[in-house]
């Protein structure tokens, strides 16, 4: 059954089926094309009549993932200009006061889309939550430090989308004062950035950070340096006007070339120390310290500014980095002789591996590398944020996703918790294997629904006992300060 709603810009037509109404591809800002690609988001152009919101909208220009990652999770990319769009799923367009969740997708700030079937909000709407999933500018369009253009355009898009939610969500039965933002990977990093960002205050009530951190930010001067290298690759002047004349295909090609060069030659003298260090030699275009949205490294902001604290779930998967090392073949090059030098590239002293090895007597050097870098990139920052958030008096809940994929060598890897959160196991067998436990999806999904509804996910708060919910199968458990010796050794080695 078709259903009509009124939003900023005009009327839209969605579809109601099985007790859930879906409105897809709704533009929340004007199409960012030409010079506008490198400007702040602008209000959407109004339309006459009723606009169809029946299909997913376009995405920002991006390339497919490399083959090993594409085989696990697929790739995204729908062409078109109106890629600043969002989707809404609601159980009751005529209702009011329903909790709202806003999903921010991941993809290393260069890939991703709100159109993935694994992000289908019907399962949350089925359980009484209005769900919004957003697109935002990625890569060069969203995060390149182009001289003459505002920084962090992709984050500005996210703030703009949250303002749209505040102004329009009541039309879908949602409560604008009960909004929970949640995201994974770059989406989780975005959530941390938004918690710390003054312009985003008041636009959400709670937050969920999945596999994120608050340290992946670049210095403005380094971001400009990358943009200048990019301009040289394109044969143009490094100005917003020159970049604005290029179409998405040329931007995408140049973006891929620069990303590959950075990975193969992570020279901080060429790219800038914050690009190589904070981006781990992998991220090429990502959020920048601009003094407005990002005042400093967000983790440091949250540690020093208790007024930014919000009710929070934050966590990681137990073996995040296996996703990046084993399918890609990088694990094969990490042996006893190379483990120390590889860890040194990440600023980790090789003696840390001794602690991890003692706790994992059967682990290979590649296993140890994945465990250590998982903690460096995801667990350490998440724990620091949780410590500060709890100290400020905000309800804080920490988790670790520990169930291991049925796909060989993946373990409890990056991305693996998403189909459980969305209760979409049928869409994820290339990542989970053929028989993921539905009981675990029921548990995690319910925790997220309960948190968005009334702020309590159902496990103990993070406090002086440092309790962490370990999600697993056949049983989950709440554990006090798991693997504390490893995290302590890592922190003493790196001393960020």
DSSP 164-189: HHHHHGGGGTEEEEEEEEEEETHHHH
- Amino acid 266: pLDDT: 86
Burial of residue 361, with CB atoms counted within 10 A of its CB: 0-12 exposed, 13-18 middle, 19 or more buried: exposed
What is the C-alpha separation between 443 and 262, in angstroms, rounded?
40
The answer, yes or no, to whether residue 496 has pLDDT greater than 60, is: no
Q: 83: Cβ–Cβ under 8 A, 6 or more apart, which residues?
A: 31, 32, 57, 58, 59, 60, 135, 137
The answer, yes or no, to whether residue 91 has pLDDT greater than 60, is: yes
What is the C-alpha separation between 462 and 261, in angstroms, rounded?
41
- Amino acid 391: pLDDT: 97
The DSSP secondary structure of 225-281, one letter per residue, reads HHHHHHHHHHTS-SSHHHHHTS-HHHHHHHHHHHHHHHHH---HHHH-HHHHHHTTT
The ranges assigned to domains in the chain are 2-139+151-210, 311-494
The answer, yes or no, to whether residue 280 has pLDDT greater than 80, is: no
Minimum mean pLDDT among 78-92, 228-242, 357-371, 377-391: which range?
A: 228-242
Across the chain, what does the average pLDDT equal?
95
What is the C-alpha separation between 401 and 319, in angstroms, rounded?
9
Which of 414, 417, 443, 476 is catalytic? The answer is: 414
Look at residue 463 and give its three-state secondary structure: coil
320 is catalytic: yes
Is the peptide bond prior to 474 cis by the omega test (within 30 degrees of 0)? yes
What is the C-alpha separation between 240 and 260, in angstroms, rounded?
23
pLDDT band at residue 345 using 50, 70 and 90 as cut-offs:
confident
- Amino acid 35: pLDDT: 87
pLDDT band at residue 263 using 50, 70 and 90 as cut-offs:
confident
- The set of long-range contacts for 460-469, using a CB threshold of 8 Å and a minimum separation of 24, is 460/397, 461/390, 461/395, 461/396, 461/397, 462/386, 462/387, 462/390, 462/396, 462/397, 462/398, 463/390, 466/383, 466/398, 467/398, 468/315, 468/398, 468/399, 468/400, 469/315, 469/397, 469/398, 469/399, 469/400
Question: Is 167:8 a contact under the CB 8 Å cutoff?
Answer: yes
Average pLDDT over residues 231-254: 90
Average pLDDT over residues 381-398: 97
Neighbours of 126 (CB within 10 A): 16
pLDDT band at residue 44 using 50, 70 and 90 as cut-offs:
very high
Please write the tens of the pLDDT for every residue from 293-314: 999 999 999 999 999 999 999 9
Average pLDDT over residues 386-404: 98
Q: With pLDDT > 70 as the criterion, what percentage of the chain qualifies?
A: 99
Burial of residue 418, with CB atoms counted within 10 A of its CB: 0-12 exposed, 13-18 middle, 19 or more buried: buried
What is the C-alpha separation between 355 and 377, in angstroms, rounded?
18
Burial of residue 344, with CB atoms counted within 10 A of its CB: 0-12 exposed, 13-18 middle, 19 or more buried: exposed
The answer, yes or no, to whether residue 467 has pLDDT greater than 80, is: yes
Q: With pLDDT > 90 as the criterion, what percentage of the chain qualifies?
A: 88
Average pLDDT over residues 345-352: 91
Same fold, 2-139+151-210 and 311-494: yes
Average pLDDT over residues 32-59: 95
The answer, yes or no, to whether residue 264 has pLDDT greater than 70, is: yes
Neighbours of 93 (CB within 10 A): 18
Average pLDDT over residues 404-422: 97
Q: 172: Cβ–Cβ under 8 A, 6 or more apart, which residues?
A: 5, 21, 23, 88, 90, 93, 130
- Amino acid 203: pLDDT: 98
- Amino acid 495: pLDDT: 64
What is the C-alpha separation between 438 and 425, in angstroms, rounded?
7
The answer, yes or no, to whether residue 428 has pLDDT greater than 60, is: yes
What is the C-alpha separation between 422 and 462, in angstroms, rounded?
24
The CATH code belonging to domain 311-494 is 3.40.50.1820
* Structure tokens belonging to residue 106: 């991941």
Cα Rg, the chain, nearest whole Å: 22
Which of 113, 185, 215, 405 is catalytic? The answer is: 185
Average pLDDT over residues 339-345: 93
What is the C-alpha separation between 185 and 466, in angstroms, rounded?
23
The answer, yes or no, to whether residue 145 has pLDDT greater than 70, is: yes
Which of 105, 274, 284, 320 is catalytic? The answer is: 320
* CATH fold for domain 2-139+151-210: Rossmann fold (3.40.50)
pLDDT band at residue 389 using 50, 70 and 90 as cut-offs:
very high
414 is catalytic: yes
- Amino acid 34: pLDDT: 87
């Amino acid at each position: 059954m078709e259903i009509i709603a009124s939003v900023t810009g005009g009327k839209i037509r969605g579809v109601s089926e099985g007790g859930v109404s879906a409105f897809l591809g709704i533009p929340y800002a004007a199409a960012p094309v030409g010079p506008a690609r490198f400007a702040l988001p602008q209000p959407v152009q109004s339309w006459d009549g009723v606009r169809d919101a029946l299909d997913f909208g376009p995405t920002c220009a991006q390339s497919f993932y490399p083959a090993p990652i594409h085989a696990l999770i697929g790739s995204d990319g729908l062409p078109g200009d109106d890629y600043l769009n969002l989707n809404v799923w609601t159980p009751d367009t005529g209702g009011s006061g329903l909790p709202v969740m806003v999903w921010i997708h991941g993809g290393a700030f260069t890939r991703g889309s709100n159109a993935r079937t694994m992000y289908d909000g019907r399962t949350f709407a089925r359980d009484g939550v209005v769900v919004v999933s957003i697109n935002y500018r990625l890569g060069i369009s969203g995060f390149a430090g182009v001289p003459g253009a505002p920084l962090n355009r992709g984050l500005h898009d996210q703030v703009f989308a949250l303002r749209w939610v505040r102004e329009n969500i009541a039309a879908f039965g949602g409560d604008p004062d009960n909004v929970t933002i949640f995201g994974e990977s770059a989406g989780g990093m975005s959530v941390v950035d938004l918690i710390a960002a003054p312009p985003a205050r008041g636009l959400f009530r709670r937050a969920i950070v999945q596999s994120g951190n608050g340290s992946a930010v670049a210095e403005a001067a380094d971001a400009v340096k990358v943009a200048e290298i990019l301009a040289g690759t394109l044969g143009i002047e490094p100005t917003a006007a020159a970049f604005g004349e290029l179409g998405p295909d040329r931007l995408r090609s140049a973006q891929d070339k620069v990303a590959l060069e950075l990975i193969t030659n992570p020279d901080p003298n060429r790219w800038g120390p914050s690009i190589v260090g904070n981006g781990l030699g992998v991220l090429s275009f990502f959020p920048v310290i601009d003094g407005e949205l990002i005042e400093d490294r967000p983790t440091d902001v949250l540690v020093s500014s208790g007024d930014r604290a919000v009710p929070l779930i934050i966590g990681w998967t137990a073996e995040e980095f296996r996703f990046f090392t084993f399918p890609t073949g990088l694990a094969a090059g990490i042996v006893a002789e190379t483990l120390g030098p590889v860890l040194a590239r990440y600023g980790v002293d090789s003696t840390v591996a001794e602690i991890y090895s003692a706790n994992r007597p059967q682990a290979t050097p590649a296993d140890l590398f994945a465990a250590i870098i998982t903690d460096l990139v995801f667990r350490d920052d998440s724990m620091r944020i949780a410590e500060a958030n709890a100290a400020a008096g905000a309800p804080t809940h920490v988790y670790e996703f520990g169930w291991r994929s049925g796909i060989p060598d993946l373990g409890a890897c990056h991305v693996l918790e998403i189909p459980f959160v969305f209760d979409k196991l049928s869409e994820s067998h290339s990542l989970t294997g053929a028989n993921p436990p539905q009981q675990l999806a029921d548990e995690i999904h319910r925790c997220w629904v309960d948190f968005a509804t009334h702020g309590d996910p159902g496990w103990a708060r993070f406090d002086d006992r440092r309790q962490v919910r370990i999600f697993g199968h056949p049983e989950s458990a709440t554990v006090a300060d798991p693997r504390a010796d490893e995290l302590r050794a890592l922190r003493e080695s790196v001393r960020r």
